Amino acid sequence: MRMSVALDVFQKCVEAVQQGELIESVSAKDKEFHFQNWFQNRLESLSLFFEAPGRNTYPDFRMVNSADGFEVKGLAWPGRERDYDCNSQVPSGFHNGRQVFYVFGRYPADLSQYSPQVGGRRCYPVIDLVICHGDFLNANREYVHKNKSVKGFGSYGDIMIRDRKMYVAPTPFALTEGTTGLMTLILPESIEIDERFQEVGQLVRVETGELVVGYKFDLRTNELSAEKVPNPTVGNPQRFKAYRLTSQTNKAVSMAIAPVGLMEQGEDGE
pLDDT at 30: 61
Q: Is residue 35 part of a domain?
A: yes
**How far from chain centre, in Å, is Cα 197?**
22
What count of Cα atoms within 13 Å lies in the side-chain half-sphere of residue 194? 10
What pLDDT is recorded for position 124? 92
Q: How far is CA 159 from CA 147, 150, 185, 203, 222, in A?
A: 17, 9, 47, 48, 18
What is the span of the domain harbouring residue 80?
A: 6-206+238-255
pLDDT tens per residue across span 237-270: 999 999 999 999 999 999 998 654 444 444 554 4
- The answer to whether position 231 is within a domain reads no
The reported pLDDT for the residue numbered 229 is 94
What DSSP line would sit under 74-137, residue for residue?
A: EEEESS--SEEEETT----SEETTEEEEEEEEEEES--TTS-B-GGG-BEE---EEEEEEGGGT
Predicted pLDDT of residue 269:
44
Among the ranges given (54-58, 77-81, 125-129, 141-145), the one the predictor scored with the smallest mean pLDDT: 54-58
Domain annotation covers residue 90: yes
| 193 belongs to a structural domain | yes
Q: Catalogue the long-range contacts made by 180-184 (C-beta closer than 8 Å, 24 or more residues apart).
A: 180/128, 181/127, 181/128, 182/128, 182/244, 182/248, 182/249, 182/251, 183/10, 183/13, 183/14, 183/17, 183/128, 183/129, 183/130, 183/244, 183/248, 184/129, 184/130, 184/131, 184/242, 184/243, 184/244, 184/253
50-57 LR contacts (CB < 8 Å, sep 24+)? none
Question: Is residue 211 situated within a structural domain?
Answer: no
pLDDT in tens, 102-138: 999 999 988 888 877 756 788 999 999 999 999 999 9
C-beta of residue 171 within 8 angstroms of C-beta of residue 82: yes
Q: How far apart are CA 183 and CA 110, in angstroms?
A: 21
Determine the pLDDT at residue 190. Answer: 93
CA-to-CA distance for 35 and 75, rounded, in angstroms?
9
The answer to whether residue 189 is domain-embedded is yes
Residue range 195-245, pLDDT digits in tens: 999 999 999 999 999 999 899 999 999 999 999 999 999 999 999 999 999
In a domain, 171, yes or no: yes
Q: What is the DSSP letter of 23?
A: E
What is the tally of structural domains in the chain?
Answer: 1
Q: Would you say residue 142 lies in a domain?
A: yes
Q: Is the pTM of this model over 0.95?
A: no
12-47 tens-digit pLDDT: 999 999 999 999 987 666 666 789 999 999 999 999
